[in-house]
Amino acid sequence: MFLASSAKPIDENIKKLVDEIEVQSPSLSVLAAREFRYSLRQTQVEVNIKEPRQFNVLEEFIIRAAIEFQPPPTEDELASVLGLDSVFIKTTTTTLRSLTNSITNITTYCYC
């Protein structure tokens, strides 16, 4: 029913991992496996505050959620968790973006 082991398109460098998966789950068979890679460049940025401003409670929660959760929650997920209409979250994130046009995150990523 399954392809013979030699007929499966499996990269040699992950063959051992495929064998482990098939041993741990005898009812499963890996049909194909390839390894993909991409470049990632990480750049530190320095932020200068031009005008100090107090954040309101909702703004502070959104900022902390974006920093502390991996992956950061979407606007709709935050609205659901807080029991708020998504329009409040979207308006607040728009305000935060307008205040921080030059800042998207403390660390920026470039997939090259």
From first to last of its 112 residues, the chain has per-residue pLDDT tens of 455 555 788 888 889 999 999 999 989 888 899 888 888 888 887 777 777 778 889 988 888 888 888 888 888 888 998 899 989 999 998 888 887 664 444 444 444 3
User: Which residues, other chains included, contact 78 with Cβ-Cβ below 8 Å and sequence gap of 6+?
Assistant: 61, 62, 65, 84, 89
- List the domain boundaries for the chain: 8-37, 40-111
